[in-house]
């Protein structure tokens, strides 16, 4: 009796497991054997700018499927599909006659007219389902940031890839009851609705993006560089307002057949590439010096200190020269303000050496160099910064004026924004929030404070000094009458194969306005311009063009 009771207990336990614990899974498996499914494709989420302007959307199209075992007249079906789809009849017949697959796709992204024609033919075993074709109403706008999808609407590059899990949604299905060979039988159908993807609302301002792209296109046409690019930040929140690069490409006409061209055009160089910044990096060196001076470090130079006016410095047997020949009294007896105006390398060599490797590297770390910013974009580079223990004095001297260090554009823009916004280093971002298809806010991405770099006192003084660079110094071509524009120029000779590349330069300008309450910051980078190469000549006008466009579209009045 005990043995019998034990056996019955085992049987009832098995029943309980099959019917209660494993019941749902077994019912799904059974349903999968009894039915054939037609997918209900979820609509991919939209991508909009911060003002709601649509940058990526969907066009309704259809996919056509055939279930060979359910086709009753294979010759007729092949003939009709061949005529409607423009496909080879014999090849279609061979595919339809195959018993090796339960279902095959014969057409993707066809129009409603073709689907209506199919319905008129009443072909058993032929089905269709709605899908979507990704389209980009603004064409080339923000092409290297938005990215594109595959023919199956899977994100391949850019934000389409980074946020694919949110954009894709979840497909549904219509399940039809079939017999063992896949032929449809009675019993109706089961409908599982699709869940549409979420809308990405970007930090990008479409109006600012448009003027930034126009400014870079003008530089590209004038100087024929490899690229002309700009990133525009809100220096208070580190929201990216624009990322523009010329040349660009139309997201509706992606060159998928030319992989080399596609890789070059789709790469977001502002995030993924590094370069030697040159004199724009002096903003960081100046900020570190001022902060240390206010903290009472005796090694730091006061704003009134007059630097040695000689053209060269010799460090560890290495001679460092100023770009100017220092003739006729040029660059003689300079204060920090004048050193910034003149972009005099030896002065910033003196600052780096005076602060020392340990202190200077503390600031480099606080300003985010040698590590990613955390921007919401795939493939961010970390830059190149020598390990502190491996830095020689000649290396430290060169880092002080932007050599022997490599940065990304977004890294440098964030560092400069922190230096002039009061010392707050925020995490940069491209997406503000996620919305449902009916406009409900599903998730928001607020500004995140990463750390502090310098004091507000240092920021205010540095901004004043950089305003002087535009008003009286090398950044004069970024000057806009009536507006407090500040900034710093940069010119760096490129390295190739471990040596300086003759005649190849990166020209740049990092500027912001208004200087006393920064709201817009732009970093312009022109790679290998032809005919001129100084940042003051090539890049500064690009920043001025971007700022003038912002002033116009935002209706910003001059300072009274």
Catalytically annotated residues:
279
C-alpha angle 208/213/216, rounded to 5°? 125
First CA to last CA distance, the chain: 102
- Other CB atoms within 10 Å distance of the CB of residue 161: 17
Which secondary-structure segment (H or E) carries 35? strand 35-40
- For residue 504, what is the DSSP state? E
User: 433: Cβ–Cβ under 8 A, 6 or more apart, which residues?
Assistant: 201, 441, 442, 443, 444, 445
Residue among 365, 399, 140, 379 at smallest CA distance from 270 = 379
In whole angstroms, give the CA distance from residue 352 to residue 396. 6
- Let me know if 305 is exposed, middle or buried by CB neighbors in 10 A (0-12, 13-18, 19+): middle
C-beta separation of 303 from 336 below 8 A: yes
Place of tokens 């991508």: 47
Residue among 78, 42, 62, 41 at smallest CA distance from 113 = 62
CA distances from 385 to 186, 365, 375, 402, 537 (A): 70, 10, 19, 11, 29
In whole angstroms, give the CA distance from residue 139 to residue 152. 20
Two tokens, residue 127: 């089905």
Two tokens, residue 414: 């964030």
Q: What is the DSSP string of 318-366?
A: EEEE-SS--GGGTT-SB-HHHHHHHT-HHHHHHHHHHHHHHHHHHHHHH
Which secondary-structure segment (H or E) carries 270? helix 269-272
Q: Are strands 240-246 and 227-233 parallel, antiparallel or unpaired?
A: antiparallel
């Amino acid at each position: 009796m005990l043995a019998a009771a034990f056996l019955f207990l085992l049987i009832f336990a098995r029943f309980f497991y099959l019917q209660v614990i494993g019941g749902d899974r077994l019912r799904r498996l059974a349903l999968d054997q009894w039915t054939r499914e037609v997918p209900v494709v979820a609509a991919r989420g939209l991508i909009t700018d911060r003002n709601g302007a649509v940058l990526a959307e969907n066009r309704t199209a259809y996919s056509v499927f055939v279930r060979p075992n359910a086709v009753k007249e294979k010759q007729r079906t092949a003939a009709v599909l061949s005529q409607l789809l423009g496909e080879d009849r014999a090849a279609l017949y061979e595919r339809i006659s195959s018993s090796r697959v339960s279902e095959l796709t014969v057409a993707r992204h066809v129009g409603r007219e073709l689907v209506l024609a199919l319905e008129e033919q009443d072909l058993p075993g032929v089905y269709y389902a709605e899908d979507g074709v990704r389209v980009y109403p603004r064409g080339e706008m923000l092409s290297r940031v938005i990215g594109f999808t595959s023919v199956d609407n899977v994100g391949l590059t850019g934000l389409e890839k980074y946020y694919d899990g949110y954009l894709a949604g979840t497909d549904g299905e219509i399940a039809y009851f079939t017999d063992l060979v896949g032929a449809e039988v009675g019993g109706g159908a089961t409908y599982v609705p699709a869940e549409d993807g979420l809308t990405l609302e970007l930090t990008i301002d479409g109006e600012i993006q448009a003027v930034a792209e126009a400014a870079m296109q003008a530089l590209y046409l004038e100087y024929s560089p490899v690229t002309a690019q700009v990133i525009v930040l809100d220096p208070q929140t580190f929201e990216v307002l624009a990322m523009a690069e010329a040349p660009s490409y139309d997201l509706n006409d992606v060159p998928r057949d030319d992989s080399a061209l596609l890789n070059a055009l789709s790469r977001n160089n502002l995030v993924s590439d590094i370069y030697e910044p040159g004199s724009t990096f002096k903003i960081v060196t100046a900020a570190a010096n001022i902060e240390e001076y206010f903290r009472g470090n005796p090694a730091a130079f006061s704003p009134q200190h007059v630097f040695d006016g000689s053209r060269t410095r010799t460090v560890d047997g290495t001679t460092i020269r100023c770009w100017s020949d220092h003739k006729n009294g040029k660059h003689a007896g300079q204060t920090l303000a004048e050193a910034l105006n003149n972009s005099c390398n030896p002065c910033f060599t003196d600052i780096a050496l005076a602060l020392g490797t340990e202190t200077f590297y503390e600031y480099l770390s606080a300003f985010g160099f040698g590590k990613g910013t955390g921007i919401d974009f795939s493939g961010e580079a970390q830059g190149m910064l020598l390990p502190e223990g491996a830095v020689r004095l000649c290396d430290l001297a060169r880092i002080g004026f932007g050599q022997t260090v490599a940065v990304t554009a977004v890294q440098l823009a964030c560092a400069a924004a922190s230096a002039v916004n009061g010392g707050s280093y925020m995490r940069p971002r491209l997406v503000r929030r996620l919305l449902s298809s009916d406009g409900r806010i599903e998730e928001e991405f607020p500004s995140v404070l990463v750390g502090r770099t310098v004091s507000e006192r240092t920021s205010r003084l540095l901004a004043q000094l950089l305003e002087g660079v535009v008003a009286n110094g090398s950044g004069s071509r970024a000057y806009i009458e009536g507006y407090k524009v500040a900034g710093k120029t940069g010119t760096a000779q490129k390295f190739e194969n471990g040596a300086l590349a003759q005649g190849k330069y990166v020209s740049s300008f990092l500027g912001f306005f208004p200087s006393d309450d920064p709201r817009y910051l732009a970093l312009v980078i022109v790679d290998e311009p032809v005919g001129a190469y100084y940042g003051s000549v090539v890049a500064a006008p690009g920043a001025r063009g971007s700022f003038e466009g912002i002033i116009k579209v935002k209706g910003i009045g001059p300072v009274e």
